[in-house]
């Protein structure tokens, strides 16, 4: 009987640790000033990046924030080495802190690559473009 309680106690302890770590990581990744993608959050460095399905079919909404007011846009394409399309932050054409770009008429089964351009500086993950697949969002 005592062995069952020990096993149950160990299982319960492990479950609590896993839930605690998961909760911490969830909140840490959603706190306004936390940045897991770009090293520094100074000036026009993007943080709180969200890539989500857009309101229209075959569209994606990319949102991010900056500490200072900056001009932002997204360079994207189907080839990581040729980001030949541009998505503009049409709501905030002038400098802003909150940025949103909607990319439309995307192909559902194609992988897209993108970088965020904030005040004429491109931001990516360690030099490699970020990516998404519309059907995965």
Q: What is the pLDDT of residue 35?
A: 40
Q: What is the pLDDT of residue 119?
A: 83
Cα angle: 34, vertex 35, 40; to 5 degrees: 115
Q: What is the pLDDT of residue 28?
A: 40
Residue 61 sits in the same domain as residue 126? yes
Q: Please name the residue ranges forming H helices in the chain.
A: 2-30
Q: Which CATH number covers residue 90? A: 2.60.40.380
Q: What is the pLDDT of residue 13?
A: 58
Q: Whole domain around residue 29: which residue ranges?
A: 1-34
CB-based burial, 65-95: b 16+ in 10 Å, e otherwise = bbeeebbbbbbbeeebeebeeebebeebeee
Q: What is the mean pLDDT of each run of 10 residues along the chain (137 residues)?
A: 67 57 44 42 83 91 91 93 89 81 92 91 86 87
Residue 110 sits in the same domain as residue 63? yes
Residue 55 sits in the same domain as residue 112? yes
């Amino acid at each position: 009987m005592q062995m069952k309680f020990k096993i149950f106690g160990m299982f319960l302890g492990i479950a609590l640790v896993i839930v605690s770590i998961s909760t911490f990581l969830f909140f840490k990744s959603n706190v306004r000033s936390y940045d897991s993608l770009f090293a520094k959050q100074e000036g026009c460095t993007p943080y709180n990046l969200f890539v989500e399905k857009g309101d229209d079919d075959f569209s994606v909404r990319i949102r991010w924030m900056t500490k200072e007011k900056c001009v932002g846009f997204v360079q994207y394409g189907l080839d990581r080495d040729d980001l030949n399309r541009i998505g503009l932050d049409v709501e905030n054409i002038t400098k802003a802190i909150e940025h949103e770009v909607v990319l439309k008429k995307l192909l559902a089964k194609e992988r897209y690559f993108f970088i965020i351009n904030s005040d004429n500086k491109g931001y990516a993950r360690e030099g490699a473009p970020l990516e998404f697949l519309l059907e995965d969002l």
